[in-house]
Amino acid sequence: MKFLEYTPLDRLNDFLSHVNFGERTIKGCLEAYSCKHTGTDKKLSLSLEHEILDYLGKSSDTDSSSPADYLLSRSSRKTLIYLVLTLYHMYPDYDFSLMRAHQFFTEESWDSFKQIFDTYMFEASKEWVETNGGNSLLEVLYKALDEVVRLSECEIYSYNPDCHVDPFLEKGSIWSFNFFFYNRKLKCVVSFRFCCVSNLVADAFLVDDMSYNDDGEIFDDMDM
């Protein structure tokens, strides 16, 4: 997997990096990756393949109608592996190898994504128009994604892990969504995560961290 730079995504990222509404802030980030293996990707993909096959072997013994039946297809397993490898590159210090990724990924449509985006990004979309004018935030997003991964050929997935295995979750998070747009032909995937964070909670954590650091400095100065 290789990080790819695209100017249309950069413009959106600049805007979504910090949209402040006083008591809360909306954040978003788009990242594009090539699905060609680099570095340790091959080793990781083989490990994930074995993990999936092991899970399928166990699930077939207990449930003949498992929700993971789609993983019986090699192309479906390959898609899942690319998605998990993308997560690895986004969060290199986080271990995804132990999670049951198929439980967290759900196939979506553009319409289902649009419904979520329109509902939760309404304020950010309004701010975009007031700041930039012209096309709506969703229209600009669609055009950028289409330029990178050709949306008409894309598979769209949402990623909804349990909170204790969610590297995306920020302190003070009110809501959070993670989507992946994957084009098999182009061997390219774009991740899009957006969330809303309470500034009150985030500021409280910052004060606590500063107090903790100050206490540590006091004790460091004391002769024990």
Residue 87's pLDDT band, with cuts at 50, 70 and 90, is confident
| Amino acid symbol at 109 | S
For the chain, give the number of residues.
224
Residue 224's pLDDT band, with cuts at 50, 70 and 90, is very low
pLDDT of residue 134: 87
pLDDT tens sequence across 184-204: 999 999 999 999 999 987 555
Give the side-chain half-sphere CA count within 13 A for 203: 7
φ, ψ of residue 131 in degrees (nearest 5): -85, -40
pLDDT score of 143 more than 60: yes
pLDDT score of 179 more than 90: yes
pLDDT of residue 102: 61
CATH 3.40.1000.50 for domain 2-59+67-207, yes or no, is yes
Full-model pTM: 0.81
pLDDT tens sequence across 2-35: 899 999 999 999 999 989 999 999 999 999 999 8
pLDDT of residue 161: 76
